[in-house]
Every structure is written in structure tokens, then in C-alpha cells.
Amino acid sequence: MLLNSLLLLTSLLRPIAGCEDHDWTSPVLGGYVDHSMMRRHDLSKRIQPTALKTPAQQIKDLHWGQINFLHTTDTHGWLAGHLLDENYSADYGDFADFVQKMKAKADRLGVDLLLIDSGDLHDGTGFGDITKPNGKLTVPIFQRLPYDLLSIGNHELYTTPIANDTYHNFAPHWGGRYLTSNVEFNDTGVLKPFSQRYAYWETKQGIRIMSFAFIFNFTGNSNATVVTPVGTAVKQSWFQEQVKRTDIDMFLVAGHITLRGSTEWNLIYSAIREHHPTIPISIFGGHRHVRDSVIFDANAVGIASGRYCETVGWLSIDGLPSSVTRAKSPQGNNATKITAKPSAIPGVTPNNQSDLSYTRQYLDFNRFSFEHHTGTTEATFNTSLGTNITEKITSDIDSLPSLTTKLGCVPDSYYLSRYPITSNQSLFNYLTTVVFPKVVVDPKRTNMSRIVLTNTGGFRYDLLKGPFTIDNAYQTNPYQNYWLRMTAPWSVAKNLLANMQTDKVYKKRGEPATANGTTIVKTEGYVTHDDFGSDGDNVVHIDQGSAETPHYVQANVSVDGIGDDTLVDVYGTSFFTPAAGKYLTGNTSDWVSADGNFSSFDTLPRMAQQFWSKDC
């Protein structure tokens, strides 16, 4: 009875239906919230009440330039922080205080500091996704931050309700700084720019900025919007008129576009360089969910700042002449001057000589980092702005007890991308050897030989040992792709996995040290290698590792020794079954429901309720 009630609950709290980003890799799972602890919330602690406190770590100081940038991207509703990972345990209230203090420091230094976001606010946590419209609780919190430039993401465009809310409410909030250079809104049949296409302004220190914001050539949007390919957009008259202006000191371009190896970024860069061979270009990418920095030429650099409130990107620029900015270099023009030959982009002769120098860092999203860089302590860091945001997050989550109902206890930790799928610590190994055989089956056909296929892009998070909640279910797989079944001969079913891997349509702990009497701890985390080298991670970590993940994985149940003529049940989700069907010739049934409205989202909750211990 309890299982039926909770499955009914998951049907009421349905996640989105739609495509997954197939290049998503694994951040660390959020965690179980104890409401009694929330009601006893100690505001001096400030991070969410059950979040793990970050230990003292080795942190590199930031180099402040004449102009500096803080960058977020792909937050996906993780504004409460990561409750079970001390590396990323700060919430957006902590971040708001950090930004406020960093902007005040910039003013004291007489330099510029701009805050930029590259899109994808939706789809990723129960806190963000449980409401109608999606983001009803999280978006107003995000709007409390003083962003200077923002771009749209594909998760603002998948569904009409989110697109409508973004167009009518979110975009206008930013007073012309939420830019959509290649997106239009279908307003009752009339196409209108989704928001402003560009912005031109002067920074506090006098730098004249021309800014654009693009999304990649996305085709999965609802009919409420139209995405113009980037190559077309940069040829349009409005863009050409702005890019040809001569009163520009720097181009800032935000974009929900994979930074490295991107045709779209190359087109934008070359469209600017056609008219301005040497003017600085600062690019802020997203979508790929990785830390990265790319050198386009000696005056053009891009940064991508991870995902899910794990990373804050930092970029600084020195060497600007006094004719461009009133700011002096606080620490001297002694950062990295770009001398390496950049990758060739067809049609562009890159600028290889410059007086500019750059630094980039990837900050971990935690209080210890924020306090270090603002020169504060736990007692002096808080302000009323951040405290109010933290209280709001806590009270919002506290008002949704259905999110934090414990369904069961994950027996161990299983990782999405740290280990190969042959490892017992791989999430996909656990799914295919334990979970799918137990719960993905038509209850009337449990004696049939079967295979269960899933696309790996549908699973987005590590599964950590401990309590498992509806919120964790959203974080692990928020997609409402229904499990379907088809019966086909083993002769074709046995080759399905190999065929789907190449299907073009759907291929989409270390020893502690001591310093100043404080124990410095190295935790597992990101170790990034980019075009500047391998020193970009602001906190020194032990490499958490990564492994290649195939596009699909499969569970085999009772198929050993069967002949080619044996009929087997093939299970897959509605996301890819149209493609899989063409490989199952000789099938004796069409795709039919495997078990009512049982979906990919419901898979782990069912496992938790039926097979996991309730004692953890």
C-alpha cells in the first residue's frame, strides 16, 4: 500500500518529458533533508542545515586584473547546494554574499567585476522541478543575484510553459542584460525577439562593452520558440550593424554552447574578427557541464564553468591601456600572456601578439572558498541578503515534505563517470546487473527471457550511499520516458545494443598536510586540464577520475544458452524505442506499455521501496 501511494506521488510530481543532454556527466548527488533539523536551522552555519561542512583545504589566491569576471552556468535548480558533498555544500544565499563582497572589493581596488551566467536554470532537482511552472521556487532566488549578462539555455526552451514563463517574466527582469541573439518567441503566430539581441554599455571603469548571447543550434525546442542557426544569425543585418561599430573596447559573448571544438563559437569569433582583428573577446560557454578554458587567439579567451552549483568560474584580464579603462592592474600585468599558437579557424588570421595577460580559476562552490577569497570568517561572512536567501531556500524545501520522504537506503555509492561500466562502483553496472533485472519487467511476463536497454544520457547523477528521496529521484533521472516492451527473436535482439551504440539519430584520498596549525585536507574532486595548463582548479584535489561511458547499456536476464529462434522481451524507454524498433525485425508485437505508466523516473524509487533497507 505504501508503495502504491508513493508511486502515485511520483506520478503527481512528474518530471519533464524530453531529450536528455547526452554529454552530461556526473556531479555528486544531493541529499536527504531532516525536517526537524531544518526547524532548528542555525543561521550562523548558513549553508543548508544538513549539508556537510567543507574541511580546510589548500586554496590558491585569485589574481585581480583590471577587469574580472565571475561565471556560473548550468545551475539546473541546485540552489540549495550539494548536501552530501562537502566540496559543493554552499547554497545560493552563500553565493549571494560572496558576490556582494567580491563586487565591493572590486570597487575598493578600482577595477571592474562582472557576473555572468550561461543558461540552463531548469530540470535537475525536485526543489526546482516539482512546481508548476517548473522553477517557480528557484527562479526568484536566482533573480536575487546581480548578474550583468545572461544567456538562455536549451532547458528554458524544451517545453512551452517554461518558455512562456522565461519570456514573460524572467527575461524582462534583467533590464536588457538577458540576451537571446538567436532565439525568437512565437507570440500567437508572430515571431518576436525572445529578449534583447545585444547590449552595449560602459563599465564602472569606462570599458565600452558590446555583448551578445547565443544558444547552440538547438532543434529540440517546443513550437513556442524558434532557434536561428548561429551561422545565419551572425549574417543578419542587426548583428552586422552592431559588430561593425567602432566605439567598442571589448566584446563579451555569453552562450549556452560547448566551448571546445564548437562550430558555433568559431563562427561567432570569426564574425567579430572579420571587423575587429585585435579587440579583446571574452567568451563564456556552457552546456557541456565541464570546467574548461579555450584560447582562440592572444586577445580572445573563453571559459566554461562546470555545472550544478559546483563551480564558480574566475577570469581576469590585465594590460588594457589607459585609453580603454581607468583601472590600474592591482597586482601588476604579470599574469599569463598568451604565446601558444591557437587552433586555426578557417577564414581567420588569429591575433598572436598582445599586451594582455589572463588568469582563470575554477572555484569550488563552498563556504570555505567563499570566505577565503573575501577575507572573512564564518562569523563575519554573512549579510542580510544571503541570510534571507538561505532562509527562503530552507523554508521552501520545508514546505514540500513530499520531496524529502525517505523511500529507502542506497546500499553503497555508485558513480556515473568515475569508473568504467565493468566496475562494481559504476552506476550503470549496478543498474544493469541489479536494478533493471529486479524492477523493469511486465509483472505478467517475469518468466520470459529479456533484455533491458537504456540510454546513459538519461541518468545524470552519482548515487551515494544513504537515504534516497523523491528529490534524489529527480536528481538522478528527471525524465518521464515510459518503459515499453517488444517481443522479438533472439537473433536480432542480441545485436540491439551494438546497433544502438552507432545509431546516428539517437547518438546524441590523500595524506593530510598541516599549515599554520590547521589540518589541510585533500578531497577527491576536479583536476582540470585546459589550454592554459593544469593549474586552474582553485582548490587542490585528488583526481576523482573519469571513464568513457557508452551511449547505451543493457541488462540481460535469462538469455544464456537460448537459440536464435527464441522469442525474448526487449525493454526500452520511449525516448529511443522508435530508433530501436527498426533493428528488431521479425518482432511478434509492437512497442507496448511494460507496466502501466512506469517510467525511467520511477525506476529507482521502485527499487528503493521494494528492495532497499529502510534503516540508514
pLDDT of res. 33: 27
As a residue count, the chain comes to 616
On the question of pLDDT at 17 being above 50, the answer is: no
pLDDT at 511: 31
Q: Tell me: the pLDDT tens digits for 437-495?
A: 999 999 999 999 999 999 998 888 889 889 999 988 888 888 888 999 999 999 999 99
Architecture of domain 405-505+551-611: Alpha-Beta Complex (3.90)
Domain limits, the chain:
67-396, 405-505+551-611
**pLDDT over 90, % of the chain:** 70
Could you tell me the sign of the dihedral formed by the alpha carbons of 109, 114, 115, 117, in that order?
negative
Q: Omega into 133 within 30° of 0, i.e. cis?
A: yes
- DSSP H or E stretch at residue 482: none
Rounded CA separation 125/76 (Å): 7
Task: Kindly write down the DSSP assignment for every residue of 397-431, as one continuous string.
Answer: HHT-GGGG-EEEEESS-BBSSSS-TTSTTBHHHHI
Residue 63 and residue 59: Cα distance in Å, rounded?
A: 13
Q: Which residues of 307-319 are buried (b: 16+ CB within 10 A; e: fewer)?
A: bbbbbbbbbbbbb
Of 229 and 518, the one with more pLDDT: 229
196 or 347: whose pLDDT is higher?
A: 196
Residue with grid cell 564548437, as numbered in its chain: 262
Judge whether 326 and 340 are in contact, CB under 8 Å.
no
All cell numbers assigned to 275:
571587423
Give the CATH number of domain 67-396.
Answer: 3.60.21.10
Cα 566 from Cα 324, distance rounded (Å):
75
pLDDT at 87: 87
Query: For 454-465, how does the pLDDT look when each residue is reduced to its tens digit (9 = 90+)?
Result: 999 888 888 988
What pLDDT is stored for residue 83 in this prediction? 80
Three-class DSSP category at 365: coil
3-class DSSP assignment, residue 374: helix
Q: Distances from the Cα of 324 to the Cαs of 105, 320, 594, in angstroms?
A: 21, 6, 65
* Overall pTM > 0.85: no
Count, in order, helices (H) and strands (E) of the chain: 19, 26
Consecutive H or E run containing 467 = strand 466-469
Angle between helices 603-611 and 2-12 (to 10 degrees): 160
